[in-house]
Structure 1
Amino acid sequence: MFTGIIQEIGAIRALKKSSDSMELTIECLQLSKESSRGDSISVNGICLTIKEIGQNYFKMDVMKETLDRSNLKYIKSGDKVNLEKAVTPTSLMGGHFVQGHVDVVGIIESIQKTPQYWMLHIKPESDIIKFLIPKASIAINGISLTIVDVNTPSFSVSIIPTTYQDTNIGLLKSGNYVNLEVDMMGKYVYHYVQQMSVGKPKLTKETLLKNGF
C-alpha cells in the first residue's frame, strides 16, 4: 500500500526482456539506501519487489500481466520513473490509499499551461470513466491527484508546480502513456451498487415519480 506522494525520481539504468517478463535495474540515490531485499516499491504506480540491491540501484522483476496492463511495456533505458516506499503504521497519509495495482494506461491528449498550474487531459484505454467523479482521487504514474472534471471518454487533472517539479509528470508530452489506478473506494462502491441492483428495476425518473419523489 502507498500514498501517492512520490519520494524520489529514479532512472532506468538497464532492462532485460524475456518472452514473458522483464528485469528492471533502477538507479536511485535515496531509496536504495533506505530499502532492503524483499521490500515493495511503487514504480510509476506499480507495486514491485526488490530482488537485488546495490550502491545507488536496485533490481526488480516485472511479470507479463503487469507489462500488458501498464506503461512499462514502453519503458526505455534512461527513462525517469516515480518511486515511493510502501507505507508503514507511522507513515504520513499525505495522498490517498494507492494499492500499486494499475487498472489501465491512459494517453495524454493535451497539456495546457497556465500561470499557476498545468492541466492534463487524459483518455483511458478502456472504460474506467464509470468509476470517476470530479474531486475524487486517482493515481497517475503513482501520483495521488484530484480529478477536476470528467468528460467521457476523458478526464482532467491539474498539476501544481511542486508536483510538476518533483515527479516525472513534468517530463510528459501529449501522446505519452501514463498508468492509471482508480481510487479503490470508488470501485468498491460501484461494485456494491451493481450487486445490489441485480434483479431490481433501474432507477429512472419514472420510477422516482411513481414512488412519490
Structure 2
Amino acid sequence: MFTGIIEEKGRLQAIKQDNQSLQLVMQASKVTTDLKVGDSISVNGVCLTVTDFTATSFQVDVIPETFRGSSLAQLSRQSSVNLERAMAANGRFGGHFVSGHVDATGKITRVWQEDNAKYYQIAVPDSRYISNKGSVAVDGTSLTVFGVTDHHFTISLIPETQQATVLGEKKIGDTVNVEFDMLAKYMERLLQQPAEGLTEDKLEQYGF
C-alpha cells in the first residue's frame, strides 16, 4: 500500500527486455536507505518487488501482465521515474490509498499553465471511477481531479509537485499510468451484488 506522495525521482540505470517482460535497475538514494529483498516499491505508480539492491540502486522484474497494462515498457535508459516505498504504519498519511495496481494508461492531450499551477488533461478509456474534486494517482502521484468528462480528466500540479515528480516533465502525447480511487471501485462492486437477505431488521442490527 502506498500514499501517492513521491519520495524521490530515480533514474533507469539498466534495462533488459524479453518478449513481454522487463528487468529494470533503478538508480536511487533515498528509497534504498532501509531496503530489503522482497520489499515493495512503486515505480511510476506500479507496485514492484525488489529482487536485488545496492546503496545506490535496486532491481525489479516486470511480468507480462504489468508489461501490457502499464507504461513501463516505454521507459529507456536514463528515464526519470517516480519512486515511493510502501507506506510505513508509523508514518503520516499525506495522500490517499494507492495500491500500485494500474487500472489504465492515459494519454496527455492538453497542457497549460495558469499562474503557478500546471494543468494536464488526460484521456482514459473510461472515467466512471473519477469524480470532480476526488483523488486519482497518475504515475503514482496522488492528485486531486479538477474536471472530468466521459473520457478525460484534468489535474493540476503545484510548483513542488512539478519539481519533485516526473509529471513536471510530461508533455502532450505522453502516456501515464492511472490508478483510480479504490474506494470508488469497491463501492461499484458492492452495488453490483444482489441485495438478497437485506432487510430493515438486518440494517437496524448493524446500526443503519
In the superposition, the TM-score normalised over structure 2's length comes to 0.91
- Listed as ranges, the matches of 1:176-187 within 5 Å are 176-187=174-185
**CA drift at 1:98:** 0.2
Kindly state the Cα deviation for residue 197 of structure 1 after the two structures are TM-superposed. 8.1
Cα deviation, residue 116, structure 1: 2.1
Number of the residue aligned with 2:39 = 39
Q: What's 2:93 paired with?
A: 93
Counterpart in 2 of 1:18? 18
Unaligned runs of 5+ in 1: 199-213
Per the alignment, residue 29 of structure 1 pairs with 29
Q: Which runs of 4+ in 1 moved over 4 A?
A: none
Structure 1 residue 195 displacement after superposition: 2.9
Q: How does 1:46-85 map to 2 (within 5 A)?
A: 46-85=46-85
- SS of the residue aligned with 1:30? coil
| Count of residue correspondences | 196
Q: In structure 2, how many angstroms separate the alpha carbons of the residues matched to 1:16 and 1:26?
A: 12
Secondary structure in 2 aligned to 1:68?
helix
- Between the aligned partners of 1:197 and 1:182, the Cα distance in structure 2 is 26
Offset of 1:196 from its aligned partner? 4.6
Q: CA deviation at 1:55?
A: 3.0
Identity within the alignment, %:
38
Contact 2:138 2:177 in 1 (8 A): yes
Partner of 2:200: none
What do residues 128-165 of structure 1 show as CA deviations (whole Å, max 9, x unaligned)?
x1111101100000000011111221110111111111
2:8 matched residue in structure 1: 8
**In 2: Cα distance, 1:37 partner to 1:192 partner:** 36
Query: In structure 1, what residue type is equivalent to 2:40?
Result: S
The whole-number CA distance in structure 1 between the counterparts of 2:28 and 2:19 is: 27
CA–CA separation in structure 2 for the residues paired with 1:197 and 1:131: 22
SS in 2 for 1:139: strand
- The amino acid that maps onto 1:183 is D
Give the distance between the partners of 2:6 and 2:157, measured in 1 at CA: 14
Q: Distance in 1 between matches of 2:34 and 2:111?
A: 35
Q: Structure 1 residues 197, 130: CA separation in 2 closer, same or farther (over 3 Å shift)?
A: farther
Please give the alpha-carbon distance, in whole angstroms, between the structure 1 residues aligned to 2:195 and 2:117: 41
Could you tell me the TM-score, scaled by structure 1's length? 0.89
Higher helix share: 1
- Contact 2:22–2:73, Cα closer than 8 Å, also in 1: no
Quote the residue 1:150 is aligned against.
148
Distance 2:130 2:190 in 1: 15
| RMSD across aligned positions (CA) | 1.3
CA distance in 2, matches of 1:88, 1:28: 19
Which residue identity does 2:193 align to in structure 1? Q
Q: How does 1:117-132 map to 2 (within 5 A)?
A: 117-124=117-124, 126-127=125-126, 129-132=127-130
